[in-house]
Each structure stands twice: as structure tokens, then as C-alpha cells.
Amino acid sequence: MNCRVTVAVAIICLASLSFITEGIELRCTCISTHGKFIPLRHIHNLELIPAGAHCGKPEVIFTVKGGKTTKKVCVNPEAKWVKNMINLMAKKLKNKLTERPIESGPFRKLSVSP
């Protein structure tokens, strides 16, 4: 009886591990990078992925708006225009955060939406 319980627990543990690792990318997200300048008005979102065990180089992914569609575009993190764009977006976010007052009280709420 104890053997059956041990086997059942082992199977459950293995099954749960497979669900945990399912969402983790084990390779670089960006296979190639887009080299042309993308205007700020077309950039909807920015993802910064640091180098790690999954990929030896940092990755920058812009979500670009084009009409009714959006697509993710990998860009070269070493390109001067990409660095400038990241700095510009960071400044805009910082300004947004400092413009909105934080509500007082026991729970403070930070609003980032426009």
C-alpha cells in the first residue's frame, strides 16, 4: 500500500513540474532583429529581457501598432536609436508617475493609466 502512495505522489510531482516548465522559454526569444527606425507613435509596448540562462544576450522587443493590428518586433539593443527610444520611454513613464498624486490613507494606490 505504501508503495502505491509513493508512486502516486511521484507521478503528481512530475506532472506538476511539467506544468511549471511549460511557460519558461529555454532559448532566445529573438531570432533576428529589425534594423530600421520605428517612430515612437507606433510603439505600443516595450519588453526588456536581460541576458540569462535562456539567452546569452539582452533582448528588446517593441509591440508595434499598425492600423488595427499589433505585432512584436525584435530590435537590436545596441542600436543608438533603440537606446534613445528606451530612454525617452523611461522619461515619459517617470513623468507619468510623478504627475499623478498618490492617494493618502492606509493603502496607497498608484495610477499609471492616462
C-alpha cell at 27: 532559448
pLDDT at 24: 55
Cβ proximity of 102 and 109 under 8 Å:
yes
pLDDT at 92: 84
Please state which CATH number belongs to domain 29-99. 2.40.50.40
pLDDT at 112: 38
Query: Beta 69-75 vs 43-49: how paired, if at all?
Result: unpaired
pLDDT at 54: 86
For each successive 10 residues of the chain (114 residues), what is the average pLDDT?
A: 58 54 69 91 90 90 89 94 91 78 50 37
Cβ proximity of 60 and 14 under 8 Å:
no
Residues facing residue 62 across a β-bridge:
46, 73
Check: pTM over 0.85? Answer yes or no.
no
Cβ proximity of 84 and 65 under 8 Å:
no
C-alpha span between 32 and 42 (Å, rounded): 20
C-alpha span between 99 and 22 (Å, rounded): 40
pLDDT at 114: 35
